[in-house]
Structure 1
Amino acid sequence: MMKGLKKWRFPAMLAALALVLSGCGENYLSTLRPAGEVGREQFNLLILTSLIMLLVILVVVVIYVAALVKFRRSRLGEDHMPQDVEGSHKLEFIWTAIPIVLLLIIAIPTVYYTYKLGDVSAMEKADEEGNPEHLVVDVTAKLYWWEFEYPEYGIVTAQELVVPTDEKVYFNLKAADVKHSFWIPAIGGKMDTNVDNLNKFYLVFDEESKDLKDGVFYGKCAELCGPSHALMDFKVKTMNRDDFDGWVAAMKDTENQVADKDSSDAGEAAFAQSCIGCHATSAVGSTGAAGPNMATFGDRNRVAGYLDHNKENIVNWVQDPQKYKPGNLMPAFDSLSDEDLDAIADYLLGLKVEE
C-alpha cells in the first residue's frame, strides 16, 4: 500500500504545483502578462534566454541518451574501446564556438536593453516655457507604506499611485528609513529605494486599470525590510491623459481641506484632535509627513495597503495598528471611544477627489 502511494507522490506534487501557479497569471499582478513597454521588453528577453537554455538542455539530453543507447555495453561487448577523439580540432572548435554564439545572442539584447531602460536623461527636459516634458513622480518608501509626490503639480498622495497611460513616467526613488524596493510586476522590473542615494528609472503604462479586478494594478515592496515586509503593498491607478489632468485638478482643489478640531462634524473634530499631527488631509504640499496623506483616503482600494476598504477595518486599524502591521510606526488609539472611532472612520471614507 505504501509503495503504491510513494509511486504517486511526484505526479501529485506536480499537480499541486500547477494548481498553485495557475493563480500567478492575473493581469493586474503577473510579470507573465506585461501591460507596459518596459515589462514587455523584459518579458521578451526572459523568453529569449529561456528558449536558449531549453535548447542547450535538449541538446545535452539527446547526446546523453544517444550515447547511452549506442555505446551500451550489452550491445558492443566488454572488450570494445571507443575511438579516441582527444585533441580533435574540429570538436574543440565546435564546443567552443557554440557557447560563444549563444552567449552573444543573449548578451547583445541584454546590454542593449540595460542601457535603454537605464536612460533617464529625458527626465530633466523642459519645453520653451520651462515646463517638464515628462511626468516625474518622487517615490518615498517608509515603514510600511509609500508616498508619491508630483513636484510639477505641487501635490502628494500615499498608497495609491495615479499615472497617465501611453507615455513615459519617470520615478525618483528613495527610502526614509531602511532599504526597500519598488516593484509593479505587470508593468516592469523592480528598482531598489535606498536611504543614502537616489535611484531613477521610467515605466510606461499601456492599459487603463479601470477594467481590472479592483480597478488597479498591484505594487509590492520586493526587498525584505522588516516584520511587515509582505504587507507593504501599494496600488496603481492608470488612466488616459485627460482623466489624469482632471485628477490633478481635483487634487489641487483640496488645498484648503484641513481638519478643524472645532468643526461641527464629529469625525473631523476627532481626527483633528488625534490624527492631524501625522496625517495631512490636503493633497497640496510636499512629502515628509510622519504618516500617509489622507486627502484621497475614500478613493483608496485598501486600508493599510491590504485590508478590505471598509469602516470595520478602519476602526480596527486605528485601535491596534501593530496587530495588523507589526513594526509600523503608528501608535494605537485604543483610548478613543467607539463613537469617536466610528466618526473618524466615516470622515476618512468621505475624503475623496474622484467622482
Structure 2
Amino acid sequence: MKDRLTKWRLLSVFAVLTLVLSGCGEPFLSALTPAGEVAQIQYDLMILSTVIMIAVIIAVTVIFVIAITRFRRKKGEENKIPKQVEGSHLLEIIWTVIPIILLLILAVPTVTATFHLADVKEMDKKPNKDGVRDALVVNVRASLYWWEFEYPDYKVITSQDLVVPTDQKVYFNLIASDVKHSFWIPAAGGKLDTNTDNVNKFWLTFDSQKSEEAGNLFYGKCAELCGPSHALMDFKVETKSQDDFKQWLNAMQTAKEVTPTDTAAAEGQKIFEQSCLSCHAVSPQDARPEQARLAPNLATFGERARIAGVLEHNEEELKNWIRDPEKYKPGNKMTNTYKQLNEQELDQLAAYLMSLKVEDK
C-alpha cells in the first residue's frame, strides 16, 4: 500500500511539473504564439477543433450524469422495465446529424485552408528580363545537422541563418541531401518534410508587428527524427522590413572576400584554406554546384547568433566546437574530416572566422 502511494505521489509531481514547464520558454518559440498568416490559420484551426472536442466531451459527460442519476435502479422498482427507445427514428437522426454537422464545421475551413496554403503558383511564374521573379523564393536544403538557404534569383547562399522580409509571402523549395528532415518555424507555421527524392513547396509570411515584438528574431528547427543530434538541428530566422531586406540582398550580392588586417586572422585564413576550404565557402555568391556544398557557407559567420546553431557565439565556444564537434553534435559530418590543430592555430582560425562579416553590425 505504501509503495502504491509513493508511485501516485511521483505521478502527481510529474504531472504538476509538466503543467508548469509547459508555460516556460521565450515568446514566439511556440506554435501557440502565431506571428504570420500561416501560423494564424493553423492556430485558428487548432482552437476550432479543440472547442468542438470540448463541446463533445461536455455533452457526453452531461448525458452520462443524467443517465446514472435519473435512470438508476431504485428500491422497490427492481422489476420495473423503463420505457424502451430502441429503434427511435428521432434519436437515430439526432446522433447521426449532429456528428455530420460537427464534421462539416471542422472540415470546410480545414479543406479551404489546405488549398489556400498549398497555392504556390506564384513561384512558378517566369522571371523578368533581369532573371528575378515577383515572388521571393528560397531553396532550403537540410543536411546532417545544418541548414542551407539559397536565394536562387539573386545568386546568394547563407547557412544556419534565414533572412526574410516582413509582410510578404516567402516561398520555399524544400529538399534534403541525406536523410528525411522537416522544416519548421513554430511561430511562422509549417512544418513540411524535406525529402531526398522530391521537392516540397509551401509559403510563409512574417507579420511586421509580431516580428518587432519578437526582436525580429525567430527560431526554426528540424521536426523529423533524423539522427543522434536531431534535437540540435536548429536555425535562426531574422526578419527585416522589405526595404532593409533589399539592402541586405544587395550587400550579399556585392560582398567581397574578407582580407584580414589582423595578423592572427591572416594566419587563420591560411589555415582555413588548407584545412576547411574543401568543404566550406566564405562567399555568399557560392557558385559551387549543390553536390559540392558539403558543409555550411561561412560568409556571415561573424554575424551569427550561435555557433553550430547551439553554442554561444564567441571565440572560446568556437574553439571548443573545432576541437571536438562530436561532443556537441554526435554524428555530425565534420568529425575527423580535418587535421587536428594546436592551440595557436585554433586561436588564429577562430580570429579569422569571427572576422567573416557582410554587414557591420
Same fold (TM over 0.5): yes
For residue 340 of structure 1, what is the aligned residue in structure 2?
Answer: 345
For residue 46 of structure 1, what is the aligned residue in structure 2?
Answer: 46
Distance in structure 2 (CA, Å) of the matches to 1:344 and 1:64: 71
Distance in structure 2 (CA, Å) of the matches to 1:187 and 1:250: 26
Shift of 1:276: 1.0
For residue 323 of structure 1, what is the aligned residue in structure 2?
Answer: 327
SS in 2 for 1:181: strand
Return 164-173 or 121-130, whichever deviates more: 121-130
Return 189-198 or 75-84, whichever deviates more: 75-84
Within 5 Å, give how 1:222-237 maps onto structure 2. Answer: 222-237=223-238
RMSD: 2.4
SS in 1 for 2:174: strand
Distance in structure 1 (CA, Å) of the matches to 2:54 and 2:341: 61
Report the AA paired with residue 349 of structure 2: I
For residue 192 of structure 2, what is the aligned residue in structure 1?
Answer: 191
C-alpha contact (below 8 Å) 2:35/2:211 kept by paired residues: no
Distance in structure 2 (CA, Å) of the matches to 1:266 and 1:127: 43
Write the deviation string for residues 95-135 of structure 1: whole angstroms up to 9, x where unpaired: 00000100011110011011100010011235764531111
Shift of 1:66: 0.9
For residue 169 of structure 1, what is the aligned residue in structure 2?
Answer: 170
Are residues 68 and 174 of structure 1, via their aligned partners in 2, closer, same or farther at CA, if it must alter by over 3 Å? same
SS in 2 for 1:276: coil
Distance in structure 1 (CA, Å) of the matches to 2:265 and 2:184: 42
Distance in structure 2 (CA, Å) of the matches to 1:153 and 1:147: 15
For residue 20 of structure 2, what is the aligned residue in structure 1?
Answer: 19
Distance in structure 2 (CA, Å) of the matches to 1:10 and 1:320: 39
Shift of 1:56: 0.4
SS in 2 for 1:147: strand
Are residues 264 and 121 of structure 1, via their aligned partners in 2, closer, same or farther at CA, if it must alter by over 3 Å? closer
Distance in structure 2 (CA, Å) of the matches to 1:76 and 1:314: 83
Q: Which of residues 302, 308, 313 in structure 1 aligns to 2:312?
A: 308
Return 331-340 or 241-250, whichever deviates more: 331-340
Shift of 1:243: 1.0
Distance in structure 2 (CA, Å) of the matches to 1:9 and 1:83: 48
Distance in structure 1 (CA, Å) of the matches to 2:12 and 2:228: 35
Within 5 Å, give how 1:1-355 maps onto structure 2. Answer: 2=2, 11-23=12-24, 26-74=26-74, 77-126=77-126, 129=129, 131-207=132-208, 209=211, 212=214, 216-257=217-258, 265-286=266-287, 288=290, 289-332=293-336, 333=338, 335-354=340-359, 355=361
SS in 2 for 1:22: coil
Are residues 324 and 334 of structure 1, via their aligned partners in 2, closer, same or farther at CA, if it must alter by over 3 Å? farther
Report the AA paired with residue 58 of structure 1: I
Distance in structure 2 (CA, Å) of the matches to 1:79 and 1:9: 47
C-alpha contact (below 8 Å) 2:176/2:195 kept by paired residues: yes
C-alpha contact (below 8 Å) 1:220/1:233 kept by paired residues: yes
Report the AA paired with residue 83 of structure 1: K
Shift of 1:202: 0.3
Write the deviation string for residues 121-177 of structure 1: whole angstroms up to 9, x where unpaired: 011235764531111000000011000000111110100100000000000000001
Shift of 1:9: 5.6
Distance in structure 1 (CA, Å) of the matches to 2:75 and 2:183: 60
Q: How many residues align?
A: 352
Shift of 1:74: 3.8
Shift of 1:5: 6.2
Write the deviation string for residues 305-326 of structure 1: whole angstroms up to 9, x where unpaired: 1111111111111111111111
C-alpha contact (below 8 Å) 1:299/1:352 kept by paired residues: yes
C-alpha contact (below 8 Å) 2:145/2:229 kept by paired residues: yes
Distance in structure 2 (CA, Å) of the matches to 1:279 and 1:132: 29
Are residues 263 and 61 of structure 1, via their aligned partners in 2, closer, same or farther at CA, if it must alter by over 3 Å? closer
TM-score when scaled to structure 2?
A: 0.91
Write the deviation string for residues 217-259 of structure 1: whole angstroms up to 9, x where unpaired: 1101011111111111111001101111111122123244489
Write the deviation string for residues 239-290 of structure 1: whole angstroms up to 9, x where unpaired: 101111111122123244489xx99811111111211111111101246311
C-alpha contact (below 8 Å) 2:29/2:219 kept by paired residues: yes
Identity %: 52
